[in-house]
Structure 1
Amino acid sequence: MMRRTLLAALLLPLASPLVAPLAAGQPLPESPDGGWRLGFARGEATLDATARQTIASLAPHLAALDRGRITITAQASGPADDASIARRLSLARARAVRDALVEAGVEPTRIDLRSLGLLDPPADAADILPPGLPRNTR
């Protein structure tokens, strides 16, 4: 019951569906699959201090969930004629989010990465999906 209450408290929807890098003090918006979405600047895979701090505040809640796996799905906009560029960039984004979660105390063996590359519609984002949510199999 406590786990369900914790997840409900963490999965608060926000009014804005925009995917953009975080501003100082801004919470992570909810992703379309549940969980949280972190926006990236086009062509970038690094996390700024604000994004790292936001992920660090989320990490203890994820670490406290003693069962299940955390999935990070990432995507990137890019040239439609070269899918490998978007795939590599989305993998770099997923790794950056994973590294920030691990740095904040989440066990690395509990984190799965999914590099989605370029999807339709394109987005420059990474989603953090907690255990227990159904996974989109795109």
Structure 2
Amino acid sequence: PPFVPVQIHPPVPPADVTAVADAASHTAPLPEGGMRILFPNGSEALNADSLKALQDYGTELSHYPEQRVVLMAYAALPGDDVSMPRRIALARALAVRSIFIHAGVATTRLYPRALGRPATGDTAPADRLDVVIETNPTAPPASSANGMP
């Protein structure tokens, strides 16, 4: 087949996230080095304190390239609509992802998950984003020529 030149474009830069003065978000630590961001119902806005805490946390995460950062975003709204809670959760996850990218965390380490409504039996606050830190799996040991380790 003939060679067809394909124009390569640079990646789209992350959006700038700005603080909203009257936003009621706040942060709390999670076990094993994670962080929880709590939001008011139906909002993805961050106040200045939450934004600063996330920027500082992102700078800290940038020093540990062997770690994956999973952004587990939840949102709850009254009614039966499943779409809107997932959209709000996605907006929260993408905002935190942008903050971390601006802080120096590689995009290949960030895994946003917009889960929408929390599962039945989940006792944590419904409107939240949990930053969960995972270590990348190590490579399996090299096997010998006969297939035995």
**TM, length-normalised to structure 1:** 0.70
* Separation in 1, partners of 2:78, 2:33: 28
Q: CA 1:73 to 1:43, structure 2 compared with 1: closer, same or farther past 3 Å?
A: same
By how many angstroms is 1:66 displaced? 1.8
Q: Which runs of 5+ in 1 are unaligned?
A: 1-19, 23-27, 134-138
Equivalent residue for 2:19?
none
CA deviation profile, 1:54-107 (whole Å, cap 9, x unmatched): 011111221111213111010001134111111111011101111111122211
- CA deviations over 1:13-70 (Å, ceiling 9, x no partner): xxxxxxx722xxxxx3234786110011111112222111001111122111121311
Report whether the alignment pairs 1:21 with 2:25: yes
Distance 2:59 2:82 in 1: 35
Give, in whole Å, the separation in 1 of the partners of 2:65 and 2:126. Answer: 31
Corresponding residue for 2:42? Answer: 43
Q: Which residue of 2 aligns with 1:92?
A: 91
| CA RMSD across the alignment | 2.2
Aligned residues: 109
Identity of aligned residues (%): 35
Residue 134 of structure 2 corresponds to residue 131 of structure 1? yes
The range that moved more, 124-133 or 42-51, is 124-133
- Determine which structure has the larger strand proportion and give its number: 2
Name the SS for the 1:56 alignment partner: helix
After TM superposition, give the deviation of residue 129 of structure 1 in Å: 1.1
SS in structure 1 of the partner of residue 134 of structure 2: coil
